[in-house]
Amino acid sequence: MMEEEEFEFTEDLEAILHLTPEVQLAIEQVFPSQDPLDRADFNAVEYINTLFPTEQSLANIDDVVNKIRLKIRRLDDDIRTVVRGQTNVGQDGRQALEEAQIAIQQLFGKIKDIKDKAEKSEQMVKEITRDIKQLDHAKRHLTTSITTLNHLHMLAGGVDSLEAMTRKRQYGEVANLLQGVVNVLEHFQKYMGIPQIRQLSERVKAAQSELGTQILADFEEAFPAQGSKRPGGPSNVLRDACLVANVLDPRIKQEIIKKFIRQHLSEYLVLFQENQDVAWLDKIDRRYAWIKRQLVDYEEKYGRMFPEEWCMTERIAVEFCHITKVELAKVMRTRAKEIEVKLLLFAIQRTTNFEGLLAKRFTGCTLTDTPGQQKRPDSPLAQTNPFLEDDPGEDAGSEKDEDLAKPRKPKAPDNPFHGIISKCFEPHLYVYIESQDKNLGELIDRFVADFRAQGPPKAGTEEGGAVLPSCADLFVYYKKCMVQCSHLSTGEPMIALTTIFQKFLREYAWKILSGNLPKSSSNSGGLTITSLLKEKEGYEAAKFNVDELCLICSILSTAEYCLATTQQLEEKLKEKVDKVLVERINLTGEMDTFSTVISNSIQLLVQDLDAACDPALSAMSKMPWQSVEHVGDQSPYVTSIIMHIKQNVPIIRDNLASTRKYFTQFCIKFTNSFIPKFINHLFRCKPISMVGAEQLLLDTHSLKTVLLDLPSIGSQVLRKAPASYTKIVVKGMTRAEMILKVVMAPHEPPVVFVDNYIKLLADGNPETFQKILDMKGLKRSEQSSMLELFRQRLPTPPSGSDSGPSLSFSAPTPEQESSRIRKLEKLIKKRL
């Protein structure tokens, strides 16, 4: 029984001492310990084995047992002390809780007393302030009544004084009094239901109406519509009347201004009638001289009569501009056939100069309330293009006619008066556009004549490969025309000018660039009997000389410059033209034309170098490769090809130094043309012995090395070829090397040979395999069995694709097309 009880006690103890991981972690953080006895996963057996690792260590077992007993005794003492210390904790806690409850009750009682006292105090304050609020209301009402009575007294007295002063025309006093009466009357708007107040308001309105009629009559008397102005200048009465008009209805002020300006400009309408000689454009200066004198006369005689804020001088000038615009439009419609370019530009220049003078003298504050005034044009974007960079000395040495053709000042963005008169010239700008059409046509003809007279750029000179000077001259003239037209108009004339630009950009591309490209023999138009005879006789195609190569490079550089500059021209035209017309500016077609010139120039260079290599390739295909006995240095045809490359490529590279990307295009296009042609001639080398194939493989490697170095060949500065170019060369020449390696491989056993071919060339075309067999010199019977085996060994195409015997199912390759052409040539030669 004792053993069972001890076993149960042990289980209960283990259950009690089993702590959760969170509790165990918290204990370890609060009471860190390195003692194994404190570990949660304590194992007694392991602990004993640690204390007594060997049998010899059992000799001190008594000491270990004594230490453990001492430790147990100390733990018991600590536990006993802690338990005794917790005996009175519960009783102390209950006592503290009771004391806290008593303190809370006392606090609640005090808070209730304070709240009762606060409510009593509030009630007392309300009783005290009730009488004070009544007194405040009474005071406010009394103050309002006194103020209203004072205003009523002022209004009644002011109305009586206003009526008396109006009859006596004492405008100086009326101006101050009327403003005060109007301000006081505003305070009585909510009392208009009272008859007396309404009567005073009606008397004020009647006085204002009488003042307006009286002032207009005084001005009519002082400045009658017909006859001369009243001698002696303006009177003080009229000056004070203007001050009164500021307070009256704005229509009175507008009527005074309108009548005075109309009377002041009546002489102008008589002097410059449509039938007068001075009304024509050649005497347009007299119009502006007349208004200048009138403005000076007005300042001297009437400058102090009108208030400064009326801006009468500016209003007179603006009205003069509107009248002039209408009159000029009328006279130009009547005499449209007499308008010449120089006369039109002269009138526009003088007009824009006058508008600039107005901008310096006036602020343009009256333009917003002037009928018929055009909106101020939007400011264009910042000028960053060379077309619009103004050169201070650009026109310093120009002729007088060119000087007149360019209105210099003012510029539209800085001038609020821009177009206030000059807009009337816009319907007649077709004369200017036609003139520019004629001038540009003559300019293109002069470029053509100069090119023919001076000849193409010479090699070794600064002109060689450089942009043609005529190109810069053309775009300088375009810049001048664009800036000039933008001063004249930013509407439809700019669209018409753009059309002219497009026309002559195309003509420049056709007549100057494409028209002067050297003619290539390959462009003569197909296969002729003469060309076949010459080829049969070993005739070598004519090459371009150095000067012709320089000319092609120069035309290419010029086209590239024209392409970039045309794009900038389009952007600046869109900035200059009105926003609603931007979509109609499109020079894409002209840029495509210059791109075509660039492409044709590169193609000519490629064809020339390609044609120079043809005789060497023909010599390669005619060599007896079956009788070659040993492998030596590179063959003579390779030396010939390398010589032509070293002659042409450095010249082209040096002349295209400013357009490096097009030189790279030339290299890529030449490689794409030469490598397929080289492979095609390689197939013609038949039969080939093992030694012959090795020699061809050596030659192919030499050509591959030269082609890889093509972009920097003959250059002192070594530059790595572009990766795209290198990839094309490696891919193409590797195919040529694989062809030769297949030819060198033994054809026995056939299965190994066919598998080797498919692995190296990955070409499932039976014609290519047939050519390989021809190069090896196999008999027709052997070729038939090999071809049948080849078709059997071809991998099966993936499901869903077109069935066929080849690995590639694309269109005929360049080699196949070339083969067909060669067969046609052979057929014609046999018939000849």
> What confidence tens digit (pLDDT) does each residue in 162-196 have?
666 666 666 656 666 666 666 666 666 676 767 77
Backbone angles phi, psi at 35, to 5 degrees: -75, 130
The set of residues, in sequence order, having a beta carbon less than 8 Å from that of 451 and lying 6+ positions away, is: 468, 470, 512, 516
pLDDT at residue number 602: 92
What residues contact residue 290 under an 8 Å CB cut-off, 6+ apart?
268, 271, 272
Range with lowest mean pLDDT among 260-269, 539-548, 761-770: 539-548
Lowest average pLDDT, out of 97-101, 414-418, 606-610, 716-720, goes to 414-418
pLDDT, tens digit (0-9, with 9 covering 90-100), for 803-818: 444 444 333 444 444 5
Per-residue pLDDT tens digits for 634-650: 889 999 999 999 989 99
Say whether pLDDT at 105 is over 80. yes
Please give the Cα distance from 441 to 404 (Å, whole number).
21
Q: How far is CA 500 from CA 483, 568, 587, in A?
A: 15, 17, 11
- Pick the more confident residue, 797 or 158: 158
Is it the case that residue 582 has pLDDT exceeding 80? yes
Helix (H/G/I), strand (E/B), else coil: 18: coil
* Whether residue 441 has pLDDT greater than 80: yes
Return the higher-pLDDT residue of 453 and 252: 453
Would you say residue 561 has pLDDT above 50? yes
- pLDDT on residue 677: 93
Amino acid, res. 401: D
pLDDT tens per residue, range 66-85:
888 898 888 888 888 888 77
User: How many other CB atoms are found less than 10 A from the CB of residue 665?
Assistant: 19
> What's phi and psi for 429, nearest 5 deg?
-75, -5
Average pLDDT in the chain: 76
Do residues 160 and 206 make contact, with C-beta atoms less than 8 angstroms apart? no
Does the pLDDT value for residue 408 go beyond 50? no
Would you state the pLDDT for residue 758?
83
Residue 459 — very low, low, confident or very high, per pLDDT cuts 50/70/90? low
pLDDT grade for 111, boundaries at 50, 70 and 90: very high
* Percent over 90 (pLDDT), the chain: 13
Q: What is the pLDDT of residues 222-262, one digit of tens each?
A: 776 554 444 444 566 676 677 666 667 678 777 777 777 78
The predicted structure's pLDDT at residue 14: 56
Question: What secondary structure letter does DSSP report for 457?
Answer: P
Q: What is the mean pLDDT of residues 570-587?
A: 89
Q: For residues 663-681, give the mean pLDDT.
A: 92
Residue whose C-alpha is closest to residue 218's, from 202, 236, 204: 236
Q: Which domains can be identified in the chain, with CATH numbers?
A: 23-128 (no CATH), 422-518+544-596 (1.10.357.50)
pLDDT for res 688: 87
* pLDDT recorded at residue 375: 40
pLDDT score recorded for residue 832: 41
Distance CA 161, CA 151 (A): 15
What is the rounded distance in angstroms from the CA atom of residue 433 to the CA atom of residue 564? 25
Q: What is the pLDDT of residue 399?
A: 40
* Model pTM above 0.85: no
For the stretch 119-140, pLDDT in tens is 888 888 887 887 788 788 888 8
For 44-58, the pLDDT digits (tens) are 888 888 888 887 778
Q: What is the pLDDT of residue 405?
A: 40
Is the model more confident about 375 or about 97?
Answer: 97
The amino acid sitting at 234 is P
Task: Check pLDDT > 80 for residue 112.
Answer: yes
Is the pLDDT confidence value at 529 over 60?
A: no
Mean pLDDT of 385-397: 39
Q: In the chain, pLDDT over 70 holds for what percent of residues?
A: 74
**Cα torsion for 366, 367, 370, 372, to the nearest 10°?**
170
Q: How is 717-770 classified by DSSP, letter by letter? A: S--PPPHHHHHHHHHHHHHHHHHHHHHHS---SHHHHHHHHHHHH----HHHHH
CB atoms within 10 A of CB 793: 13
Q: Is there a contact between 772 and 742 (Cβ–Cβ < 8 Å)?
A: yes
The pLDDT value given to residue 170: 62
| Residue scoring higher pLDDT (587 or 782) | 587
Summarize the confidence of residues 663-689 as an average pLDDT: 90
**Who's near 823: CB < 8 A, 6+ residues apart?**
none
Better pLDDT: 725 or 171: 725
Q: State pLDDT tens for residues 311-321.
A: 788 888 888 88
* Residue pair 439/345 in contact by the 8 Å Cβ criterion: no
Higher pLDDT, residue 627 or 525? 627
Distances 129 to 64, 570, 799 between C-alpha atoms, Å = 94, 83, 104
User: CA angle, 239 as apex, 303 and 311 as ends, to 5°?
Assistant: 45
Q: What pLDDT sits at residue 669?
A: 93
Enclosing H/E stretch for 213: helix 195-222
Q: pLDDT tens, 533-550?
A: 344 333 444 578 888 888
Report the alpha-carbon distance of residue 402 to residue 651 in Å, rounded.
42
Range of 120-129, 163-172, 384-393, 746-755 with top mean pLDDT: 120-129
pLDDT at 409: 37
pLDDT, tens digit, for every residue of 303-355? 677 777 777 888 888 888 888 888 888 888 888 788 888 888 888 888 888 88
Better pLDDT: 783 or 648: 648
Q: How many CA atoms lie within 13 A of 210 on its CB side?
A: 17
